[in-house]
Amino acid sequence: MAYEIRTFGDPVLKTKAAAITEIDGKIARLIDEMFDTLYSSDSGIGLAAPQIGVQKQIFVWEVDDEEMVIINPEIVESSGELLFDEGCLSLPGLYAEILRPKDVLMRGLDIDGNVIELEATDLMGRLFQHEIDHLHGMLMFDRMSPDQRKEALAEYSRITSNQAPARSPRRLKLK
């Protein structure tokens, strides 16, 4: 079952997710729901649990038609720098160039509870860092300079007001 993806302004996106202590049937169901939600989105390649309102440290992604999942992930090594045009399912329509390390080593648990390490660069390196930020209650805005954030917030409010034109007249009447 696909869930509604939480968007900017929802407090769950600003909350640090809890580590998963037991990988049970509930987690298996959560993973299914996260993939259903990811596939119901237009353009997403990864999804973190807080984006469907679940404060747990887990994210899923799809690469080369393969479904991947990691539990309690952390970046243990990073190097290089890359300016990359990032998007986020919780900030629909907004893209912003964000500077982050290019290469990362991520460590976490697989669905069987085994420790796994994944090396990634470019798009995948970016995805891992972006999704782990979600687990720490951080969004792209938190990775921007004050000037860039101001501009991006203005851009995002333009995008969201365009998506909901019916709301503006009603607001004006309330004035």
Binding site for Zn ion (CB under 5 A): 88
DSSP H stretches of helix in 41-102: none
**Closest residue to Zn ion using C-beta atoms:** 88
**CB of 98 vs Zn ion, minimal distance in Å:** 11
**CB of 133 vs Zn ion, minimal distance in Å:** 8
Q: Which is nearer to Zn ion, 109 or 140 (CB)?
A: 140
Pick the closest to residue 90 from 2, 32, 15, 4 (CA basis).
Answer: 4
**CB of 65 vs Zn ion, minimal distance in Å:** 21
Cα 86 from Cα 3, distance rounded (Å): 23
Cα 57 from Cα 20, distance rounded (Å): 6
Is 131 considered catalytic here?
yes
Using DSSP's 3-state secondary structure scheme, residue 10 falls into: coil
User: Of these residues, 4, 62, 131, 155, which one is catalytic?
Assistant: 131
Cα 123 from Cα 22, distance rounded (Å): 30
Q: Which is nearer to Zn ion, 23 or 68 (CB)?
A: 68
Q: Which is nearer to Zn ion, 5 or 109 (CB)?
A: 5
Q: Which residues are catalytic?
A: 131
